[in-house]
Copies of this chain bind each other. A is one copy, B any other.
Amino acid sequence: MTAIEQAQARPRGTRLPRRARREQLLGAAQEVFVAQGYHSAAMDDIAERAGVSKPVLYQHFPGKLELYLALLDQHCESLLQSVRTALASTTDNKKRVEATMDAYFAYVEDEGGAFRLVFESDLTNEPAVRERVDKVSLQCAEAISEVIAEDTGLSRDQSMLLAVGLGGVSQVVARYWLASRSGVPRDTAVGLLTSLAWRGIAGFPLHGAEGQVQGHH
């Protein structure tokens, strides 16, 4: 149920306990921010969407930025959890790749488009936002790079580069897949990317010994 439906179900005069009201406001804000982006989203829009007046918003959040940050934190945490869970779900590295790819696809597909707040924010010039987005990207990449470093024996810097790359592919392709709505089902897309990535990774030193490969660096 969207926030606006909730708001219409409970017409404009209803009084809510403080905690519930806050959650409802967060929901409405997310819908508006996702649909319009930070700058185009007016506090009036959010208030109207939630079926309350503007002062109520300011009784729950100090300002527009803090409201946005609350949502951003929430969804950054969510992404990080998904990735970590995926990495920990198995010890088979190929399945790890697949699970991680799928985590990105699931993240992009679900949550009412909240991934836009993280991956397509129009407030990256605000240091507080930039910091959060950079941090979650870095943390995801570090989690991935640990596995890569262990599996390939590459240096810390180099495995980070690859990890950033793998996260990047997942994120970019997942968004493209969602937007393009081409006929490719999610499983197929994930499988395709997993093949691509796994063969790529599997060619590095530790495996190169067993499987022979052309020169690298």
Contacts and interface: CB of A to CB of B under 8 A. Distances in A.
Contact of A215 (B168, B196, B214): B214
A124 B168 contact: no
Given A125-B122, A165-B172, A172-B165, A184 B211 contact: no
Nearest to A203: B199
Interface in A185-217: 188-189, 191-193, 195-204, 211-217
A58 interface: no
A78 to B, nearest CB: 20
Nearest to A37: B125
B192 A162 contact: yes
A164 B192 contact: no
A119 to B, nearest CB: 11
A161 B40 contact: no
A4 interface: no
Contacts of A123: 122
Interface string A157-169: 1101110110111
A200 B211 contact: no
Contacts of A157: 182-184
B176 A164 contact: yes
A100 interface: no
Nearest first, the 4 A-B pairs at minimum CB distance are A168-B172, A200-B200, A196-B200, A37-B125
6 contacts: A39-B39, A160-B182, A162-B196, A195-B203, A199-B200, A200-B200
Interface of A: 36-37, 39-40, 120-125, 137, 141, 157-158, 160-162, 164-165, 167-169, 171-173, 176-177, 180, 182-184, 188-189, 191-193, 195-204, 211-217
Given A141-B176, A168-B168, 18 more contacts: A40-B125, A120-B124, A122-B123, A157-B182, A160-B182, A161-B176, A161-B177, A161-B184, A161-B189, A165-B196, A167-B172, A195-B203, A195-B204, A195-B217, A196-B201, A198-B200, A199-B203, A213-B214
